[in-house]
Amino acid sequence: MLKIENLTKKYGEKCAVDSLSLHIKSGEIYGFIGHNGAGKTTTLRAVCGILQFDEGEITIDGKSIKTDALECKKKIAYIPDNPDLYDFMSGIRYLNFVADIYGIPSDIRAKRISKYADAFEITNDLANPIASYSHGMKQKLAIIAAWIHEPKLIIMDEPFVGLDPKAAHILKGMMREVCDCGGAIFFSTHVLEVAEKLCDEIAIISHGKLIKNGTMEEVKGDESLEDVFLELEAE
């Protein structure tokens, strides 16, 4: 589904991501962990075509994000760490905006909006301007917008930040549902317990370099993910 080969991104002299390679298969929830400034957000932004990179290649379903960005973007959805949405729109207007861009027919989008908005309990707020939403509500809206076109690959940067426990539980269910239907999830998190319980595979990144990746068992063995992460960080 997603192949990252030797991804390198530099900001001036500083190398934010250094020759990173990852393969994310269909049906997988792939966690991406690392300290602050490790290069997680840079990688995620490069994957969804927001950030140009210096070296390497990223392909989504066999198509290059560099040369075939639009085709790639049709298959993915991205939720950033800080959901800065259009404050001047109402929630429903924003969802219709995204649905129009993806060309989702009216009846299908209505069903999906209804399903997810009800699940997150924000249906009654959809007519209000986004400017009046709390951080958690914006995050919920960003999640619904990401799910509205049933993407094959969902890229999320710290998706659980700001969500209440119920919403976080619902999101975990939605993530698993996407993978059960043949999709894939690639997300970053600092919450190691969540990564440990939810992910099929994980990658640990430090100072732009991949230091360990594989299935949860391969990475942590009998230890806790927290212990492994701290040990690797100390090295």
Partner 1 sequence: MLRSLLSKQFMEIFRSYFYDSKKNKPRSKAKMIFYFAFFAFLIIGVLGGMFTFLSLLLCGTFVSLGLGWFYYFLMGSLSILLGTFGSVFNTFQSLYLAKDNDLLLSMPIPVSTIMTARLLGVYLLGTMYSATALIPAIIVYCINTKWAIASIIGGISMLLFVTLFVFVLSCLLGFIVAKISTKIKNKSFVTVLVSLLFFGAYYFFYFKAQEYVSAILENALIYGDIVKNSAYPLYLFGRVGEGDAFSVMIFIAAVLLLCAAVFILISRSFVKIATSSGAAKSNTYKEKRAKQKGKVATLLSKEFSRLYSSSLYMLNSCLGILFIPALGIVFLLKGDLLLSAFSFFGEGSGIPLVLMAAILCMAMSMVDVGAPSVSLEGKNMWILQSLPVDMGDVITAKLFVQLFLTLIPTVFSLICIVIAAKFPIFDTVLFVISVLMFCLMMSLFDIFASIKFANLNYTNELVPIKQGLSVFLAIFGVWGMAIAFGGIYFAVAKYISVGWYFAASSAVFAAVSLILYKWIYGRGKEKLKTL
Q: Of the candidates 54, 55, 100, 233, which one interacts with partner 1 according to CB under 8 A?
A: 100
CA distance 157 to 71: 22
Told to check if 67 binds partner 1 by CB under 8 A, we report no
State which residue, 135 or 169, has the beta carbon closest to partner 1.
135
Q: Of the ranges 89-97, 171-179, 198-206, 225-233, which one interacts with partner 1 (CB under 8 A)?
A: 89-97
Cα 101 to chain centroid distance, Å, stands at 19
Told to check if 161 binds partner 1 by CB under 8 A, we report no
The torsion angles phi and psi of 232, rounded to 5 degrees, stand at -65, -40
Q: Of the candidates 25, 37, 54, 88, which one interacts with partner 1 according to CB under 8 A?
A: 88
Tokens matching residue 7:
């991804």
Residue 122, Cβ density class (10 Å: 0-12 exposed, 13-18 middle, ≥19 buried):
buried
Is residue 41 a contact partner of residue 157, using CB atoms and an 8 Å limit? yes
The pattern of x and - marking residues 118 through 157 that bind partner 1 according to CB under 8 A reads -----xxxxxx---x-------------------------
Told to check if 211 binds partner 1 by CB under 8 A, we report no
Q: Of the ranges 27-35, 101-109, 158-166, 169-177, which one interacts with partner 1 (CB under 8 A)?
A: 101-109
State which residue, 18 or 68, has the beta carbon closest to partner 1.
68
Q: Of the candidates 31, 34, 39, 49, which one interacts with partner 1 according to CB under 8 A?
A: 49
Q: Of the ranges 26-34, 100-108, 177-185, 206-214, which one interacts with partner 1 (CB under 8 A)?
A: 100-108
Residue 13 CB-half CA count within 13 A: 0
User: What are the helix (H) ranges across the chain?
Assistant: 40-47, 69-75, 91-102, 106-120, 135-147, 165-180, 192-198, 216-220, 225-234
State which residue, 60 or 204, has the beta carbon closest to partner 1.
60
CA distance 235 to 231: 7
In the complex, least distance from residue 52 CB atom to partner 1, rounded to whole angstroms: 5
Residue 181 CB-half CA count within 13 A: 12
Report the site for partner 1 in 18-47 (rule: CB under 8 A). 45
Strand 184-188 vs strand 29-34: parallel, antiparallel, or unpaired? parallel
In the complex, least distance from residue 55 CB atom to partner 1, rounded to whole angstroms: 16
Interface contacts to partner 1, rule CB under 8 A: 45, 48-52, 69-71, 73-74, 76-78, 80, 82, 84-93, 96-107, 109-110, 114, 123-128, 132
